[in-house]
Structure 1
Amino acid sequence: MKRLIPLLVALFSTACAGSLKGQHERAPLDTVDHVDLERYTGTWYEISHYPQRFQRNCTGTTATYELRPDGQINVINRCRKRSLDGRLATAKGRARVVDPATNAKLEVSFFRPFWGDYWIIDLGPDYEYAVVGHPTREYLWILSREPSMSPELYDAILERLRDQGYDTDRLVKTLQAKTE
């Protein structure tokens, strides 16, 4: 056992150093200059995302944001499980601004007391799309006010994401219901 502990410590230290190495080689993640939270509220359709355990089997995913009287934001995420006709799953949380100079850096909590970074890194001039990332670049969502996005806009967003150090090959498109 005495020989096993140093081995485990060495393996853990190597794993941590390897994961931090990529962080030091990358430039810091840029956010948008300013977010008008009132314009940002409402419903967004998920266009694509990095796969995450908590979104497994989700389709038709939406996020709805509502300003609260205390300055925080209600967050309601919904998706259909396995198909667009599947069971509706809902997760409710809240967000708080951590950078009031820009309102672009927020934290979101679905399981208090745990908070996760939610950074708005790209935003349409008319708030028609938004891109949400994380400083580690392990999380990424492309959102739209409509359930679909033009290929030209999507490709332009992907180019800006690559410039920010994101691996756009990891993105998975989200199935959304067609609108008439």
Structure 2
Amino acid sequence: MKNLNLIFLMLISSIFVYGKGSEEPFHKSVPYVDMDKFSGDWYVIALIPTIFEKDASNGIENYSIDDKGFIRVKYTYNKGGKDKVMYQKGWIYNTQTNAEWRVRPLWPLKLPYFILELDDNYSYTVIGTNNYDYLWIMARTPQIDHELLDDIINRAVDRGYDRDKIVLMNQDGV
């Protein structure tokens, strides 16, 4: 019962937290995302973690498009020495660019996700939320160049993300 109350409180607080965000120009996303190229595995390199991702390692997001056009997200990670999997469902909100989504981690939430950066070769991406609370820097490989990562983090901070909240994710198990 305690766990149900905790989940309920998290859901309610998330609704208020995500409700405070705005769709301001800061969220200028990339001009276009080719969903076929974007699909597949992305290693989480750095992030502002959700409650589920705190102290996690070896995070890999896998995106695919199902036959109805929904984005299927499979997030695998390790937490406390245990491998875990979380499934989410997404919708392309801006169909002209494919760079703004709504993602449902838990019902009834539909959270705005913005693809803020995407390398021309689809080798790294940056996804953020509309309230600056969550950020994911991901790559097709488990590590990226440190100088490139510093540049990406600096651009995220320029957008309004808190540098002190951005953490590196350990990718030692891959």
Q: Same fold (TM over 0.5)?
A: yes
Query: In the superposition, relative to structure 1, how do residues 69 and 143 fare at CA in structure 2: closer, same or farther (>3 Å)?
Result: same
* TM-score with structure 2 setting the length: 0.82
Q: Which residue of 2 aligns with 1:95?
A: 90
CA distance in 2: counterparts of 1:114 and 1:27, whole angstroms? 23
SS of the residue 1:28 aligns to: helix
Q: Which residue of 2 aligns with 1:126?
A: 121
Which residue among 30, 33, 49 is the counterpart of 2:31? 33
User: How far 1:113 sits from its partner (Å)?
Assistant: 2.9
Q: Which amino acid aligns with 1:130?
A: T
Which structure has the larger Rg?
1
Contact 1:59 1:81 in 2 (8 A): yes
CA distance in 1: counterparts of 2:63 and 2:49, whole angstroms? 22
Q: Do structure 1's residue 159 and structure 2's residue 157 form an aligned pair?
A: no
Instruction: Give the percent of matched residue pairs that are identical in Structure 1 and Structure 2.
Output: 29
Query: In the superposition, relative to structure 1, how do residues 35 and 23 fare at CA in structure 2: closer, same or farther (>3 Å)?
Result: closer
Unaligned 5+ residue runs, structure 2? 1-15
User: How far 1:94 sits from its partner (Å)?
Assistant: 1.2
SS of the residue 2:69 aligns to: coil
User: How far 1:99 sits from its partner (Å)?
Assistant: 0.4
Contact 2:73 2:88 in 1 (8 A): yes
Q: How does 1:26-105 map to 2 (within 5 A)?
A: 28-82=26-80, 86-105=81-100
User: How far 1:159 sits from its partner (Å)?
Assistant: 2.3
Provide runs of 4+ in structure 1 moved above 3 Å.
none
CA distance in 2: counterparts of 1:173 and 1:56, whole angstroms? 11
* TM-score with structure 1 setting the length: 0.80
RMSD: 2.3
CA distance in 2: counterparts of 1:139 and 1:56, whole angstroms? 12
Q: Which amino acid aligns with 1:31?
A: S
Unaligned 5+ residue runs, structure 1? 1-15
